[in-house]
Structure 1
Amino acid sequence: MDPPARRVRLKPWLVAQVDSRRYPGLHWLDPERRRFAIPWRHATRHPPAPQDHDTIFKAWAQETGKFRAGLDAPDPARWKANLRCALNKSREFRLLFDGTRAAPPQPYKVYELCQGPPEGADGVAEDDYGCDEEEEEVSQLQKMTSLSISVTDLELKFQYRGRQVCVLTISNPHGCRLFHSSLEPTQEQVELFGPLTLEQVRFPATDAIPNEKQRFYTHQLLDVLDRGLILELQGQDIYAIRLCQCKVFWTGPCAGPRAGPNPIEREKKTKLFSLEGFLNDLILFQKGQTSTPPPFEIFFCFGEEWPDQKPKEKKLITVQVVPVAARLLLEMFSGELSWSADSIPLQISHPDLKDKMVEQFKELHQLWQNQQRLPPAQPEPGPPAGPWVLPPGSLPQ
């Protein structure tokens, strides 16, 4: 049975911890003691430091009864989530700066004390302790839902043999059809070309292909793409329906482990992406239970087997589909700006004494450079130049 949580006021407790200077990196940033910094390391991006066994997050868990030394298993990710959630709930703190983006070697956050009321609206002291990891996840999901984020927006990137020829974003609640034909779909031809409600997206022209042989084989594939490939939006999920004669292979979040090529069967609905599954995996990543964020990009290869031994850049026709909502959710949920699902994990050692000395030298050098950029002082006006100073052009020829 979990221990009962204790009622603890976050503001006086946290102010006392900053004053104590007990935790490295937790300190005031101004003389008025209004703004303070908290070191905010990510378990999956930063290796544990020697002092990580005794953190402000662990202290908050112990203070609120969420962790009992010797009885409960240590859970640093949950400790951090609890304090973050308490800070977010409290009206007496405001996040000014989130320095955890782009995986810096020394991540931290800056909070400001606010002049909020000491009691809740009902006259009872607010419960800063009553927030655990699961509650924060629910509130995050509710926040995302309130923003009406759906998988409506799809970013499409067309490439011919590794060369990007077109990028566009479609916003159709029904989805789209990728095709190459001079025939326009009609109401009587729904079985041939799919519903008219779909966004009709034609493959780009091949005029920019410089190689004649490549252009010939690309046309061979485009000629059998009359009926096209449908990307159907159903609820919060994305499906593919291959109508065209051209075979289509794919990889993506719902592809599952597969050793060889992964084809889309003709006229059979294939699930490509699930927003619910993506969010579940995103929660695991945020809790530190997985080392990488969940994938959300879908990759299609037309007329050639994929995946195989050849790189993507060697394929004649490829299309990458990005659910824009998933990319936004990853940024919102993790609190970091994500380049893509395959961001580069930077490996940087923790600074030692010599590194800190170098940083000080760099700062002094920067100050010196700033001094050099200042405009030179104007000399005091003096007596006119003597006869030995000749004006320009007065020398004899």
Structure 2
Amino acid sequence: DPNPETPITPTSMNLTPAWAAETGKFLAGRDEPDPAKWKATLRCALNKSREFRLRYDGTRAVPPRPYKVYEVCGADGADMVTGDDFSCGGEEEEEEEDVNCEMDPVPPWPKEHPQFSSADATVPFMPPELPPELTAQLTPQLTPQLTPQLPPPGPPALLEHGVPNLLASPHLLPLTDLELRFHYRGRRVSALTVSHPLGCRLSHGGSLPPTLQRPDLLGHPELQQVPFPDPEGIPHDKQRRYTCTLLGAMERGLLLELGGQDLYATRLCRCKVFWDGPCAPPQDPHLDPRPNPMERERRVQVFSLQRFLDGLILFQKGQSPTPPPFEVFLCFGEEWPDHRPKEKKLITVQVVPVAARLLLELFSGELSWSADSVPLQISQPDLKDALVEQFKELHRLWQQQQHPEAGPRPPL
């Protein structure tokens, strides 16, 4: 494969100029030979062609390998779609604009990788040894697809009195549930609820399955694995191309981990991630918004249940003009917050702690009390004493709200 980091070999010296001449990009006697450019343009053509499919990208392997493997597809390219099938559809895009995709540089190749020399001109080309995972992919046998194992759901909770049960018994709340909403250029393309007590890992590609041997590389192996939706259904070529570029740098992914009743995020991927949420640094309302980047491999707290309950208590007492925020917004490859609206960003993920949403809907009267719509569960969270006291205070405030004629009640 024409990888720009790979040394120019005799084989590529025969292939790339022939392709450049055939496509009219090089004419002997007119143009200066530029092998690096020939390789780059051939690589772009392979990526765009529907007659070839990238089966293995060694540049993103661990450790990196300086080659890629392409497969010849059918004449109609019908088998080009990989990963989970998805079609986002939608109206015509208002505008197509260039996007500055932000990614960390690819790490250099290991020094022990053999270099080619002029002596290689007389040696027949031998393809590099393929990694075991790719060899398994290219064998004709059908391999079973592994699906993440989810913890068994707890027994359903009975709602005799609804709200009082929630506040007096916080273990009924789904304290570990996270709603994830994926958007490509403002259009929702997927939504799901993660109920794993440890959290999840967002990633793309699937070629780096977590293992017990490398938790430092991919996070805890028992995290629920959540793939990004397939971008092939994006109807606009430029948007799809940019989106694929960003997804190609997300194989190590981003971790969303639960610690107690708090949520933490860790960026492992090369694709830069910017975020906003209740734990983000405050913005000056009199100045332009400042992008908030997430440093690579640094654990960042993005949501605190205790802070949310503090804000909800103040709001119910009339000591805060607005309810506390609880949603976390992740933007991949583009700066955020900035002057451009969320709807213009290529890839965004909205993270909603379900318990916080339920509590806010509870006090606003918007919560539906059908057993199917409220995902209550019996769990045994290790609640800190401060959290227990906060729930007691919220219970008292709710009772006061429901029976204002009774007047304030003493704390429980």
Q: TM-score, normalised by structure 2?
A: 0.47
Q: Which has the larger radius of gyration?
A: 1
Using CA pairs under 8 Å that are at least 6 residues apart, name the structure with larger relative contact order, 1 or 2.
Answer: 2
